[in-house]
């Protein structure tokens, strides 16, 4: 299976540069994965596809203000850090621009000295391990000096950083948002609850590896990035009840799907656990837990496009994507949504 098998032609003007004023008024393409039938709706219509006893699974991670603009100690040269993942207390793996200025023992200053960093070593793909120095609580310092990073294909400045957070975001740790959840409002979730839909939460801290292009021509040779996740007993019970009752587990986003398929057993039951997952889902994979998926439209040849193709079939997905292009849907993080049922 070749990476090029997952290519589709996307006009650049269809890449959404900003969110809609009303989250729930995004368009919704509904794809029946058994028949390939396509419907065109508005996202708030998702309620009509959810039934009493179904379980909607949301990723409640929150995006860190992970972009840091600073200068090199001594020379004043400008530097940009993007936090990738926490290794241990005060030690993080980061992406740097420009990287040449960041050799081991080099020091950098952010926010008028409120936050400092020293390069410890150069690691995979030219990233750096850095140790931060500060007074107080790191997350509070980061809130003051950091900026919420946006995906590389969004060039327009975001006026309200909360629009790149889901309304149910809770646990800080992501470098990117679980964007399928951006369409939900608190009112829409309450409407689902009133209909008898169970809502469960998982946490997966999204890394920038989600935007990393697949460089291997053979899909199977791609090495998936790892991301930290957890799921507790209360939420496992909600998911397992839906499975036992013959109801659907509806994953909101590819990140929730990766957690569910990591922790699920062969009978589709999940149990509480935490750790790192590098699960790579592409066509040929048999889903154990996920019955349906709410997702955004993904980049050509991406691992995310491969995941949705594994659920709905590559031909169905590419047909749906081509129709979405013809119908002028908005693509990627701030774009419209798809429901694979």
Give the pLDDT confidence score for residue 98 in this predicted structure: 87
Q: What confidence tens digit (pLDDT) does each residue in 136-181 have? A: 999 999 999 999 988 888 989 898 999 999 999 999 999 899 999 9
Q: What is the pLDDT of residues 207-236, one digit of tens each?
A: 877 667 788 899 999 988 889 999 999 999
Whole-number mean pLDDT of the chain? 95
What is the predicted pLDDT for the residue at 289? 98
Q: What number is the average pLDDT over the span 80-95?
A: 91
Judged by average pLDDT, the poorest of 16-20, 38-42, 82-86, 161-165 is 82-86
Can you tell me the distance from the alpha carbon of 253 to that of 304, in angstroms, rounded to the nearest whole number?
Answer: 10
Distances (CA, A) of 152 to 15, 28, 210: 11, 24, 12
Residue 9: CB atoms within 10 Å: 8
Percent of the chain beyond pLDDT 90?
Answer: 86
**CATH class of the domain comprising 67-147:** mainly beta
**Averaged over 310-317, what is the pLDDT?**
98
Right CATH number for 3-63+160-340 from 3.40.50.460, 1.10.1740.10, 3.40.1780.10, 3.40.50.720? 3.40.1780.10
Question: Is the alpha carbon torsion for 157, 159, 162, 166 positive or negative?
Answer: negative
pLDDT on residue 274: 96
Q: Has residue 294 got a pLDDT over 90?
A: yes
What's the confidence (pLDDT) of residue 298?
96
What is the per-residue pLDDT for 16?
96
* pLDDT computed for residue 177 by the predictor: 95
Q: What is the pLDDT of residue 288?
A: 98
The pLDDT assigned to 124 comes to 80
What is the tens place of the pLDDT at every residue in 234-257?
Answer: 999 999 999 999 999 999 999 999
Q: What is the pLDDT of residue 68?
A: 96
More confident residue, 180 or 112: 180
Domain boundaries in the chain? Answer: 3-63+160-340, 67-147
Say if residues 296 and 336 touch (Cβ distance below 8 Å): yes
Q: Is 248 left (phi over 0), alpha (psi -120 to 50) or beta?
A: beta
> What is the pTM assigned to this prediction?
0.91
Mean pLDDT, residues 19-34: 97
Cα separation, 85 vs 294, whole angstroms: 26
């Amino acid at each position: 299976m070749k990476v090029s098998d997952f290519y589709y032609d996307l006009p650049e003007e269809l890449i959404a540069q900003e969110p809609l004023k009303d989250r729930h008024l995004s368009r919704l393409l509904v794809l029946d994965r058994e028949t390939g039938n396509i419907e065109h709706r508005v996202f708030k219509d998702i309620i009509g596809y959810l039934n009493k006893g179904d379980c909607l699974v949301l990723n409640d991670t929150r995006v860190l203000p992970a972009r840091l603009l600073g200068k090199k100690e001594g020379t004043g040269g400008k530097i940009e850090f993007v936090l990738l993942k926490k290794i241990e207390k005060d030690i993080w793996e980061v992406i740097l621009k420009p990287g040449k200025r960041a050799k081991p023992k080099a020091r950098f200053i952010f926010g008028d000295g409120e936050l400092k960093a020293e390069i410890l070593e150069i690691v995979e793909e030219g990233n750096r391990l850095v140790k931060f120095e500060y007074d107080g609580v790191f997350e509070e310092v980061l809130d003051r000096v950091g900026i919420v990073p946006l995906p590389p294909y969004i060039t327009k400045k975001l006026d309200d950083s909360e629009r790149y957070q889901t309304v149910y975001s809770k646990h800080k740790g992501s470098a990117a948002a679980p964007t399928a959840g951006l369409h939900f409002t608190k009112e829409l979730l309450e409407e689902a609850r009133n209909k008898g839909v169970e809502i469960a939460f998982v946490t997966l801290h999204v890394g920038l590896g989600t935007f990393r292009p697949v460089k291997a021509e053979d899909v199977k040779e791609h090495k998936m990035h790892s991301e930290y996740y957890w799921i507790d007993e209360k939420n496992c019970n909600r998911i397992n009840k839906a499975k036992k009752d013959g109801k659907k587990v509806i994953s909101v986003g590819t990140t929730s799907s990766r957690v569910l398929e990591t922790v699920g057993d062969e009978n589709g039951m999940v149990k509480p656990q935490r750790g790192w997952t590098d699960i790579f889902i592409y066509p040929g994979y048999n889903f154990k837990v996920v019955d349906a998926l709410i997702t955004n439209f993904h980049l050509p040849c991406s691992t995310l496009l491969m995941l949705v193709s594994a659920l709905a079939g590559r031909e169905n997905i590419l047909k749906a994507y081509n129709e979405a292009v013809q119908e002028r849907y908005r693509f990627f993080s701030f774009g419209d949504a798809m429901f694979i049922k």
